[in-house]
Each structure stands twice: as structure tokens, then as C-alpha cells.
A and B are shown apart, each in its own frame.
Chain A
């Protein structure tokens, strides 16, 4: 049990008080323990007060640990074991752990007390699971306050970027702020980002669509018709098209193109076919089915070795051929 291990470390008050109160109920020792405990509690309270100087806008439901404190101070001795029982009930939760921790840290410097508080709020909020209600976060520490101001400034500027949002603000402070501010602006920012994403997607698809007149799977696309050569005569477009519009099957034999076939570009017109059909055609009249111009065998070798070089050479030749015809 967490509470035992922690109280063994420094504050042995609670278990011993429990034992005493249960068995003997002698007021004297209990009063002694109470006075010790009360002293420590006062010290701790003063530290918490210093730490929480700036937080006046806290919500009531957040107040659990601190609202317990006045009760504890005023409690009679026999309530001590009630307190410890309550503590045991709560033990295992981060809530109690950090409470005892801060209690045990109280004789130390203020800094350690302050350190325990951010741990407290973060662990408790993570333990209760993040939703947008206000009772998630138990404490507002000064660090979070600074972030809050920063966040508000961003929200006011209506430039809430998601990345920035997550970087500058820990999640619990965002949620806290959402609950305080009636969660208007964070939702707006989130929906805004959604809109942005939605805007991006159609733009991308439009971009892809605009690359070609027909999609490769389009039924209306006249497969392998020679009207492709016009578009492919531009060098940049040529590269682009060769990456996009590689047919999945050979337009001659309709067999699927394998990797070698799909990397095989025998003609400057960009007409692709499988190696088998290419050989059959070269054995026959040797003209490209796409543009009906004779295949040039040197060009194919060059293209196979250095693609970029082959591209320019082929373009030059095709243009010269165009002039001749």
C-alpha cells in the first residue's frame, strides 16, 4: 500500500495515531500526535498558500485536497483514525499519494512543496481520464497559469494552430481553460483545424485528377490510342506521366506488366508494352504501336543505362524525325 510506505518514510503520525486511537484512546499521546501533525499541517498549509497565491479563480470541485485541510485542522483527536481510514480508502489513487507526499515534504523547503504540486495536478488529471469537464484538474499551479495567459493570447488572435497548441500547453491546462471559458474557443479552433484538413483533401484529389484527362481505370479512356504522344512531348510532363500513367497491363497482349516491363520505356512517345510484345514487334515491322514510328534500338540501350541522358537524346531524335515527316 502506498500510504504505508510513504508514511514510514517521514510522517509516521497517521498510522501510529490510528493504533493509539483504536486501542487505548488515551488523549495524551493522541494529543501529542495531533499537535505534531497540526504543526506540520500548518507548515504545509502556509507553503500551499504561498504556492497558490495567484489562483483565486479555482473551481470548487477542484478543491478536494485543500478543502480537506481546514476540516483536518479542526478535527478532534478521535477523528484522526477516521482521517487515516479515509486516507486508506483513497490510497492507491494519485490523489492521496501526492497529498501524503506533500505532507511529508512540508518540513523541507518551499521549493520541494511547489514541486509536488505540479506532479499532483498532472497525475490526478491523467488518472481521471481527459474529458472537457472542469473537475479533471485539481490544482492550478503558477506554471500552468503562465501557459494559460499565453494560450488565451493565442486564442484571442484566433491563430490556434494544433502543433503550437500542444507544444505550448500541456493537455490538462487546455482542458481546464476550456471548462473555464465555456469551451467556446478551443472547440472553434479544433473545428477550424478540421475544416482545414477537409480543405486540404479535396485539393489534393483535385490535383491528382487534374494531372490527366482520364484516370488509368477509366472506362472511357481509349486504351493505347496514339493521342498520348502530344502530352508526352514535354520533358517535364513526360517524367510526370511516366510515373503516374503506367498501365497495369500491356496494351498489346493484355498481360500484366511486371516490374521490368513497367520500367521499360522503348519509345519517346511514352507508349509502354511488355518486353515480349516489344520483341515480337521488333521482329516484324518494328514500329511503336503508340506513334507508329520505328523503334530505335540504340536509344533503348542508352535509355536502359542512363535514363535522364536517354530522355534528352530520344527527345532530340523524335523532334528531328518530326521535322522530316
Chain B
């Protein structure tokens, strides 16, 4: 408990310091609970998510960093590894491949990388996965772009 709190405080300081260094990630801690974080990440360029801003919710467990934080998308996103309704993310480093050396910031980076490189073989969004597995990249891209415009762009969302 105490250890995870101390570590999260340190991470918070780190985030404040690094704010300028990584403009794609904006990590914000909850005002009252340091175990609740939200992040705003920009959709990577040259993907259908480009131009969108996606909100992530972090729930940090007590044994953190020995256990990974629970992360989910609050913004709707059409992605094979993100559950369309719950926003749950299927990412190995958030499951068995977690390492205590990762930080919330590095998790955000990993999620951005996952958005740029979807893994259709372990889909949470079967429709999206099937589009990619059948080779319909164009269909997938148009669907993802549409949802990005609908949900992740400030004006139209």
C-alpha cells in the first residue's frame, strides 16, 4: 500500500516533469485518489486514429507495480484489441507480460503502439479483427476513421 503510493507519487512528479517531452500523452491523476488516473492520448499519425484524442482510464491496484494497472478506453474506438463496448484492452503487458519496470507513462506509449499496430489474431472486437484478417484493410480503415471522427474528435464527438 505504502510502497505503491510512494511509487505513484514519484510517477506523478515524473509526469509533471516530462509533460513537454511527450506531447502525445497527457496523464492526469485524480484529485482525490492517486490510484485513479486518466490519460489523453493522441491517435498516431498515418493510422485511421490520426487526429483523434482518446481518453484512457487507469485503475491502479494496491500491489502496484507488482501487478499491472487496469486500463480501458473511455473513448469509443474501433480496434481489434479493444472491446467496443467496455473499452477493455487486450495487451500482453497489461496481463501476463507486465513488468514492475513499466510505468503508467510507458503503458500509454504501449497503447499508442498497439493502436498503430493492431493484433487481429487475438481480437476483442471480432468485427474489426475479422476485417483485418480477411485482408480488408480499406474497410477496416474506413470504419476506424469513422469512429474516430464520431467519438474522438472534439467537435463532432
Chain A residues packing against B (C-beta within 8 Å): 219-220, 222-226, 251-255, 271, 277, 280-281, 284, 287, 289-290, 292
Given contacts A222-B106, A254-B6, 19 further A-B contacts (CB under 8 A): A219-B18, A220-B21, A223-B103, A225-B102, A226-B101, A251-B100, A252-B100, A254-B7, A254-B11, A254-B14, A277-B100, A281-B66, A281-B100, A287-B99, A289-B99, A289-B100, A289-B101, A290-B99, A292-B99
Docked-complex contact A219 and B99, CB < 8 angstroms:
no
Q: How far is the CA of A253 from the CA of B100 in the complex (A)?
A: 9
Docked-complex contact B97 and A225, CB < 8 angstroms:
no
The 0/1 profile, CB within 8 Å of A marked 1, for residues 101-112 of chain B is 111001001000
Q: How far is the CA of A253 from the CA of B102 in the complex (A)?
A: 11
Q: How far is the CA of A253 from the CA of B99 in the complex (A)?
A: 13
Can you show 8 pairs from A to B with CB atoms below 8 A apart? A220-B21, A223-B103, A224-B101, A225-B101, A226-B101, A253-B3, A277-B100, A284-B66
The 5 closest A-B pairs by CB, nearest first: A224-B101, A254-B10, A289-B101, A289-B99, A289-B100
Q: Is B65 an interface residue (CB 8 A)?
A: yes
Q: Is B117 an interface residue (CB 8 A)?
A: no
Interface size on B, residues (CB 8 A): 19
Q: How far is the CA of A224 from the CA of B18 in the complex (A)?
A: 16
Instruction: Name A252's closest neighbour in chain B (CB-CB).
Output: B100
Residues of the B chain whose Cβ atoms lie less than 8 Å from the Cβ of A277: 100
Residues of the B chain whose Cβ atoms lie less than 8 Å from the Cβ of A223: 101, 103, 106
Chain B residues packing against A (C-beta within 8 Å): 3, 6-7, 10-11, 14, 17-18, 21, 65-66, 97, 99-103, 106, 109
Instruction: Name B97's closest neighbour in chain A (CB-CB).
Output: A292
Instruction: Name A224's closest neighbour in chain B (CB-CB).
Output: B101
B97 → chain A closest CB, angstroms: 7
Residues of the B chain whose Cβ atoms lie less than 8 Å from the Cβ of A226: 99, 101
A135 → chain B closest CB, angstroms: 61
Instruction: Name B63's closest neighbour in chain A (CB-CB).
Output: A284
B119 → chain A closest CB, angstroms: 18
